[in-house]
Structure 1
Amino acid sequence: MVRAGSAGVTAGPTLAVVAREAGVSVPTASKVVNGREDVAPETRRRVTEALDRLGYIRRPRFDGGRATRLVDLVVHSLETSGSGAVLHGAEEAADDAGLELVVSAALTRSRAERPERPERPERGWLDKLVLRGSSGVLFHLAELSDPQYAWLRQHRIPFVMIDPVLEPPPDAVSVGAADWRGGVTATEHLLALGHERIAVVAGHRHTLCADARIAGYRSALAAAGVRHHPEYVRHAGSGEDAAGRQVRELLDLPEPPTAVFVCADRMALGVYEALAERGLRVPDDMSVVGYDDLPEARWLTPALTTVRQPLSEMAATALRLLLRMMDGHRPESTRTELSTRLVERASTAPPGPRPGGHG
């Protein structure tokens, strides 16, 4: 691999020159180059402008003589079936393109201290990208900080977000599912069965997918002329236990719902458990619709009706977009959405007796 300063490559300005140009210390300039967050915004701006102005070489350039290029896939966890589906799609697309895929899980160590916020990759993976000479990166369900986005741009590493947790910067390329339409589809299915008291249990507040699915749910209710109950809209992060707690609270309402749209199949596990604890049956006493169509949806009893999110296809699409970016082509649109569809199983039926024992 050819690196800055190696034989045959003209070395650019040193970090000391950049620091002097920006009027900062070398350690401060190094923090900006390495994506550290403990730098004042104005200082970061001065250093970034100096890097660009002086033509500082921020990363090893790809050696075209190598047979295989490296691409990183950074996932939020290696233990979920959702991540497995993403890995499957990315691996197949990488193999077709002759790319080598490096997979890693990068979570913030402070996750337990901020459970209300999604996962953010640790800073350590930034350095690993440079050391490996990665030609591009795919991120699945990652929450990147502004300095991390800036670091990727400064090092000229193309990247694509798969199902980003938060709204990415305007210039960031992302691939996701048609979550608004998925929320509409799930709710319309329950409405068609005769349900009007329909609750929704979503993930983290103010995240792209949760907001879109809830918006679809509300749109479907409005289109059907069904009154929206604000107390029926719940957030449970991504945990099974939290989803179960939300359903118990819904059952304790004076007018509990007869159906619930759960915005993740994993959370539906907790919903089933909470209903069973109350002696309620799915779908006789409560209809349940999930989201994702993970293997867990088929394992539940009764099998879960759910909205299929094409995770493998999303990952493959992201890999192909990344390959074009690595070759110097910019996508026509920064956002690509793949369609969702309802998979009907046994967890939904017309409304039964009023759940919760309130008459």
Structure 2
Amino acid sequence: MTRTGSASGPTLAVVAREAGVSVPTASKVVNGRADVGADTRRRVTEVLDRLGYVRRPRFDATTPPGLVDLVVHSLDTSWSAAVLHGVEQAAHDAGLEVVVSAGLTRTGGGPGRGWLDRLTARGSSGVLFHLAELTPSQYAWLTHHRIPYVMIDPVLEQPPGVVSVGATNWQGGLSATEYLISLGHERIAVIGGFRRKSCSSARVAGYRSALVAAGIARRPEYVRHGEFSESGGRRRMRELLDLAEPPTAVFVCSDGMALGVYQALAERGLRVPEDISVVGFDDLPESRWATPALTTVRQPLSEMAATALRLLVLLMAGERAEQAEQPGCPRTELPTRLVVRDSTAPPNALAGRRTHS
């Protein structure tokens, strides 16, 4: 039977009596089982918190943990491959084994209750979440069950105290736009991901800051948002080309979207960079294979994942992550870097005069 870690603390029988349930039902709640009704789970959890019941730690912090979970958005992208590479290398160095789950976060929200049940059943010592959106109840579940976790490039702003690793997205957007300005472009558009995604909003904010610093008027019609995909980039570029005065350069907030931009330009018989310069973001292998090779902002994906694994190991050992610059917001940001290739050039004089007909 699961008991409190303190001999003087309330027993599970006391918790069950206070909550008006059986001891087996209270045990199911404590151990994260799925076969408990929502109201019953809430009632038992409230009693656990009120009585100060402390669940026994899942592992002995004095011995090295052996198993961690990695939850990735998908396995069919080079983005995820870079994350897997970073985690695998860092886990090998730490003597850990990794269980990988994919596709649990594609439709929004974090992994479901069934996955959380399996997490406790296999005895994982910690979790890395990649591009996940956890609900308040899922955060509470992980905290209650004392399962350390770290977010890799989280989609949304995280609650206070949640440890995460990302890149300097604002600086990346700034450097991409500053480079286009240095080439002589003033009609510069941006294609971002969904507005609610924190990485996208930071990159677009960097773009806007560069325009302001250069004294270039911001044009609302030059700011477009969509999903991080080739089709999303293609659709938004078509919209920009349909403007009375299309841009001469575009900063695209992911390499995948930038490939869609290439497609939209090819449909109109336009050349990169002779007619329009394009800058991406990520520096995935596709950016080097594209024709012309894509100028892009490199974010260190493998390094971000490895850093997240090392932070998770610290949390599993009972240490606090003090890497944050601001108290209550323990986020580590690794630097981005502009990689100049062949998709950018000074604005073409004829393209500069071209308008939509």
TM-score band w.r.t. shorter chain:
0.7 to 0.9
Q: C-alpha displacement at 1:204, in angstroms? A: 1.5
Of residues 254-263 and 64-73 in structure 1, the stretch that sits farther from structure 2 once superposed is 64-73
Work out the CA distance in 1 between the residues paired with 2:64 and 2:216.
60
Q: C-alpha displacement at 1:328, in angstroms? A: 0.7
Spell out, residue by residue over 1:125-155, the C-alpha distance to the aligned partner (whole angstroms, 9 max, x if none).
2111101111111111111111111110010
Work out the CA distance in 2 between the residues paired with 1:130 and 1:12.
23
Work out the CA distance in 1 between the residues paired with 2:37 and 2:183.
54
Contact (CA 8 Å) 1:236, 1:246: kept in 2 or not? Answer: yes
Q: Taking structure 2 as the reference length, what is the TM-score of the superposition?
A: 0.87
Q: C-alpha displacement at 1:122, in angstroms? A: 3.1
Is 1:255 matched with 2:238? no
Contact (CA 8 Å) 1:258, 1:351: kept in 2 or not? Answer: yes
Q: Which residue pairs with 2:356 in the alignment?
A: 358
Work out the CA distance in 2 between the residues paired with 1:241 and 1:220.
27
Contact (CA 8 Å) 2:186, 2:216: kept in 1 or not? Answer: yes
Work out the CA distance in 2 between the residues paired with 1:28 and 1:234.
51
Work out the CA distance in 2 between the residues paired with 1:59 and 1:274.
57
Q: Taking structure 1 as the reference length, what is the TM-score of the superposition?
A: 0.87
Q: Which residue pairs with 2:175 in the alignment?
A: 185
1:210 to 197, 200, 220: 200
Partner amino acid, structure 1, of 2:269: G
Q: C-alpha displacement at 1:258, in angstroms? A: 0.7
Q: Which residue pairs with 1:337 in the alignment?
A: 333
Spell out, residue by residue over 1:71-111, the C-alpha distance to the aligned partner (whole angstroms, 9 max, x if none).
111111111111111111111111111111111114257x3
Partner amino acid, structure 2, of 1:358: H
Partner amino acid, structure 1, of 2:218: H
Work out the CA distance in 2 between the residues paired with 1:31 and 1:277.
57
Is 1:349 matched with 2:345? yes
Q: Which residue pairs with 2:134 in the alignment?
A: 144
Spell out, residue by residue over 1:275-305, the C-alpha distance to the aligned partner (whole angstroms, 9 max, x if none).
0000001111111000000001011100000
What pairs up with 1:43-58 in 2 under 5 angstroms? Answer: 44=42, 47-54=44-51, 56=53, 58=55
Change (3 A) 1:108 1:158: closer
Is 1:324 matched with 2:307? no
Change (3 A) 1:251 1:178: same
Partner amino acid, structure 1, of 2:321: P
Partner amino acid, structure 1, of 2:47: A
Contact (CA 8 Å) 1:35, 1:150: kept in 2 or not? Answer: no
2:123 to 125, 133, 144: 133
Is 1:107 matched with 2:97? no
Structure 2 segments unaligned to the other structure (5+ residues): 325-329
Root-mean-square deviation over aligned CA pairs? 3.0
Change (3 A) 1:12 1:203: same
Q: Which residue pairs with 2:89 in the alignment?
A: 92
Spell out, residue by residue over 1:197-248, the C-alpha distance to the aligned partner (whole angstroms, 9 max, x if none).
1111111121110110011000000000001011111111112112111110
Work out the CA distance in 1 between the residues paired with 2:347 and 2:37.
55
Q: After the TM superposition, which segments of 4 or more aligned residues of structure 1 sit over 3 Å from their partners? A: 9-14, 16-20, 22-40, 46-49, 52-60, 63-68
Change (3 A) 1:251 1:133: same
Of residues 184-193 and 347-356 in structure 1, the stretch that sits farther from structure 2 once superposed is 347-356
Q: C-alpha displacement at 1:55, in angstroms? A: 5.3
Sequence identity percentage: 66
1:272 to 262, 267, 291: 262
Work out the CA distance in 2 between the residues paired with 1:94 and 1:193.
43
Work out the CA distance in 1 between the residues paired with 2:56 and 2:294.
47
Change (3 A) 1:19 1:198: farther
Partner amino acid, structure 1, of 2:18: E
Change (3 A) 1:252 1:4: same
Change (3 A) 1:106 1:63: farther
What pairs up with 1:24-35 in 2 under 5 angstroms? Answer: 34=32
Contact (CA 8 Å) 2:88, 2:98: kept in 1 or not? Answer: yes
Is 1:170 matched with 2:160? yes
Q: Secondary structure at the match of 1:354?
A: helix
Partner amino acid, structure 2, of 1:318: A
Work out the CA distance in 2 between the residues paired with 1:329 and 1:162.
19
Change (3 A) 1:57 1:133: farther
Spell out, residue by residue over 1:174-215, the C-alpha distance to the aligned partner (whole angstroms, 9 max, x if none).
011000000001100100011111111111121110110011
Partner amino acid, structure 2, of 1:188: E
Equivalent pairs counted in the alignment come to: 344
Q: Which residue pairs with 1:114 in the alignment?
A: none
Q: Which residue pairs with 1:115 in the alignment?
A: none
Partner amino acid, structure 2, of 1:273: Q
Q: C-alpha displacement at 1:162, in angstroms? A: 0.6
1:124 to 96, 114, 120: 114
Contact (CA 8 Å) 2:295, 2:342: kept in 1 or not? Answer: yes
Q: Secondary structure at the match of 2:58?
A: coil
